Structure 1
Amino acid sequence: MKTLEKTNPSQSLESLIEDFWKNDDLVNQSVKSEPTVNIIDKNGVYKVTVSAPGFKKKDFKVAVEDGSLIISAETSAEKKEEKENYVRKEFSASSFARSFRLPDNITLGHIKANYKGGLLNITINKNNLDKKEVKEIKIR
């Protein structure tokens, strides 16, 4: 059972709104700047897994430039609802960019990426890399 709290009638609307946002765990959890990444070195392959739910395959850009693996994504959504006496328009936008220095022993032509179930998986075969070469990787 919830207890009643005495409210201060002189408390400003701004402080009420500030308290609401400060104490809202759902809002605080959703404000995350970049996704988590796991990198595994196994059997001649580097496996990079990026946890990025809420994105679509088309939102991602994966590239190798100047010896670095660059992973970025950007998405936005908008919902507008009009009813009898009110109009509500909600929107959201999310983006991130991560980069990782690649070792010299990879094959640039054998990098593959796919996105499924909120996970972006990138496999990088080991061999040689020309660090000045730029290559964009298609996501399946």
Structure 2
Amino acid sequence: MEPESTIDDIIKSVQRFRILSIGRSGVGKSSLVNCVFGITGARVSHLKPGESDIEQEFISQDNPIFVLHDSKGFEPGEITNFDIVREFIEQRSQQGLPLRDRIHGLWLCTKTPAAGGRVFEIGDEKLLEFAYKI
């Protein structure tokens, strides 16, 4: 008995898998995007929060089925970027949107905590709770 859906069937119906990278400033989101996708479009900033356009699509020449969006990092006490990310997820999760344009996954980037430190920041936890509900 064959499975109902094969990977080829899924790829034909979705066409593109869209991933959003999220996390606190300075954890290496843009560096990860550049390394994994073999591109240099994601701007890396080590001294201050990087500037990222969440709407910009990063597509690897080696594997164009994956589309990545890089979010600006979260800062403690800052809510504007959290709202931008939440709105992006809401818009890209709408049922009427073609599957190829929807968000299919979140790539949460975190720093390894020091002994006794928090594994996730509060903003990360809130965003994961929100995404789970959608």
TM-score interval (norm. to shorter):
under 0.3
Q: Which has the higher strand share?
A: 1
> Structure 1 length normalisation: TM-score?
0.26
TM value normalised by structure 2: 0.27
Q: Which has the higher contact order (CA 8 A, sep 6+)?
A: 2
Bigger proportion of residues as helix: 2
